[in-house]
Chain A
Amino acid sequence: MTKKLSNTSILSQLIRRDMRVAMRQRSEFLNPIIFLLVVITLFPLAVGPGADTLSRIAPGVIWVSALLSAMLGLERMFRDDFRDGALEHMMLLPCPIELSVLGKIIVHWLVTAVPLLLISPLLALLLNLSMQALPVLILTLLLGTPVLSAVGAIGVALTVSLNRGGALLSLLLLPLLIPLLIFATAAVEAASMGLSAGGPLAFMAAFLVLALGLSPLAVKAALQVSVN
């Protein structure tokens, strides 16, 4: 029992444990995806099914819906662990808290973003997005969703001890995610016009590095405030 655990083995144990918990509550992370599909369906009904209109607004609609549906699913990142006390144990582990936070972020990304990536061709099809823009859309989602999980973790960590955190979480997080939205839609728009999307994609990659590097620090500080 006195075997010393290395940081990487703790991280992999944490990820495996969280994945198992997530797989036992499939509806929790499937519901936001269904919500996303429903929201996407509303847009053609509201603005008219014209092919030109749809393909023009498609990048914006897909990204705004992705942000909103992410807000719905974020809370479960820390909430259940906070309620049953597992979060306190996570913070007492013999490894840096930042590392376990990174594990949480990775798991959240795996259970929410991977389904989104899988159905993104379907979304593009529904909104008549041009096929040349599809790879770029997938690329923006690939680069952007980890930022969503990482920045979202800060908001969840701040509001986890509140009972009515839902609307507050969106108020805190959405302004911080505006740059992501701007560059993601710029990239997809550029690609659908046949232009190079390299610039905005490079910016998104920079956000990814910045968010993954810095957000665990902020999450740690926030958790220490929330978990007394």
Chain B
Amino acid sequence: MWRWLHPYAKPEATYRLNRKLLPWFAIPGIILMIVGMVWGLVFAPADYQQGDSYRIIFIHVPSAMWAMGFYVGMAIAALIAVVWQIRTAEWAIMAIAPVGAVLTFISLFTGAIWGQPMWGTWWIWDARLTSQLILLFLYLGVMALYVAFEDQRTGAKAAGILAMVGVINIPIIHYSVYWWNTLHQTSTITQMVTRLEAPAMPPEMLWPLLTCVFAFLLSCSALIIMRLNNEILQREVRRPWAIEILKGGK
């Protein structure tokens, strides 16, 4: 397997692989996004309790899920970069971080919009909200550390180490925040939230939600692939193969 993987440590090979993979992520991503959004926002039945305003779930849940998922992905890229010293993995860290940070922000923002009519407040210090906010800080820390260095190689390595330290901390933070909240009495609002976690959700709602979850995964992966390719071209701009691609448009 190593012999098969090793050529992709070369930026050029990764670039060409990415070019081949991109349509397989982008096209299904866009199609699923359209299908999932229309299905969820127009055709799915209204909730008996929350009416139409529950429909924001089709954005909120996928973004919250992949905000966490891409952080783990970023940490895996960081591990590869540190262990095997592969430069493309270092660039992958920086390709993933802003996408993940924006997803985290979207999930917090939609959560606030959703919370306003449902709970009567934009923000409560519920465990899940708080740990999502801390996740946003972790993303911002990784990005800030990267841009703080003048030498981008050093910045990427430092950001990678921070990402790995963060991924060890995420479960600790998550459970300690959870425990902190349950120390106090749980309000009826938070009980509603925790009950959403194990949903007795009807299939008419569940299927569009799953569609949206996959749509977010594919389209965000496509974005990351595009960002990574940009990064590779920028770094390798003096290499003959990159010049050829930039000139020929291929």
Stretch at the interface among B52-60, B107-115, B138-146: B138-146
In the assembled complex, the Cα of A222 lies from the Cα of B176 at a distance in Å of: 26
Residues of A within 8 A of B166 (CB): 176
Instruction: Fill in one digit per residue for A154-182: 1 if any B CB lies within 8 Å of its CB, else 0.
Output: 10001101101100100110111011001
Smallest Cβ distance from B86 to chain A, in angstroms? 15
Q: How many chain B residues touch A (Cβ–Cβ < 8 Å)?
A: 27
Q: Is the CB of B161 within 8 A of A172?
A: no
Smallest Cβ distance from A226 to chain B, in angstroms? 7
Residues of B within 8 A of A164 (CB): 148
Smallest Cβ distance from B101 to chain A, in angstroms? 13
In the assembled complex, the Cα of A183 lies from the Cα of B176 at a distance in Å of: 8
Q: How many chain A residues touch B (Cβ–Cβ < 8 Å)?
A: 27
Smallest Cβ distance from A67 to chain B, in angstroms? 14
Asked, given contacts A179-B176, A182-B180, whether A158 binds B140 with beta carbons under 8 Å apart, the answer is: no
Which residue of A has the minimal Cβ distance to B175?
A179
List which A178-199 residues lie within 8 A (CB) of chain B. Answer: 178-179, 182-183, 186
List which A199-228 residues lie within 8 A (CB) of chain B. Answer: 203, 207, 214, 218, 221-222, 225-226, 228
Q: Is the CB of B145 within 8 A of A159?
A: yes
Smallest Cβ distance from A204 to chain B, in angstroms? 11
Interface of A is mostly: helix
Q: Is the CB of B141 within 8 A of A171?
A: yes
In the assembled complex, the Cα of A221 lies from the Cα of B82 at a distance in Å of: 9
Residues of A within 8 A of B154 (CB): 161, 225-226, 228
Q: Is the CB of B169 within 8 A of A176?
A: yes
Instruction: Fill in one digit per residue for B146-173: 1 if any A CB lies within 8 Å of its CB, else 0.
Output: 0011000010011001101110110011
Asked, given contacts A168-B144, A168-B148, whether A158 binds B134 with beta carbons under 8 Å apart, the answer is: no
In the assembled complex, the Cα of A182 lies from the Cα of B157 at a distance in Å of: 30
Q: Is the CB of A218 within 8 A of B161?
A: yes
Residues of B within 8 A of A168 (CB): 144-145, 148
B196 is an interface residue with CB less than 8 A from chain A: no
Q: Is the CB of A182 within 8 A of B176?
A: yes
Residues of A within 8 A of B179 (CB): 182
Q: Is the CB of A221 within 8 A of B161?
A: yes
Residues of A within 8 A of B137 (CB): 171, 174-175
Q: Is the CB of B145 within 8 A of A158?
A: yes
Q: Is the CB of A162 within 8 A of B177?
A: no
Q: Is the CB of B177 within 8 A of A226?
A: no
Smallest Cβ distance from B94 to chain A, in angstroms? 15
In the assembled complex, the Cα of A164 lies from the Cα of B183 at a distance in Å of: 39
Q: Is the CB of A214 within 8 A of B158?
A: no
A-side residues, CB < 8 A to B, are 154, 158-159, 161-162, 164-165, 168, 171-172, 174-176, 178-179, 182-183, 186, 203, 207, 214, 218, 221-222, 225-226, 228
Instruction: In the A-B complex, list the 5 residue pairs whose CB atoms are closest, starting with the nearest.
Output: A179-B176, A175-B137, A182-B180, A225-B157, A172-B141
* Further pairs besides A162-B148, A174-B137: 6, Cβ < 8 Å: A161-B149, A179-B173, A182-B177, A183-B176, A225-B154, A226-B158
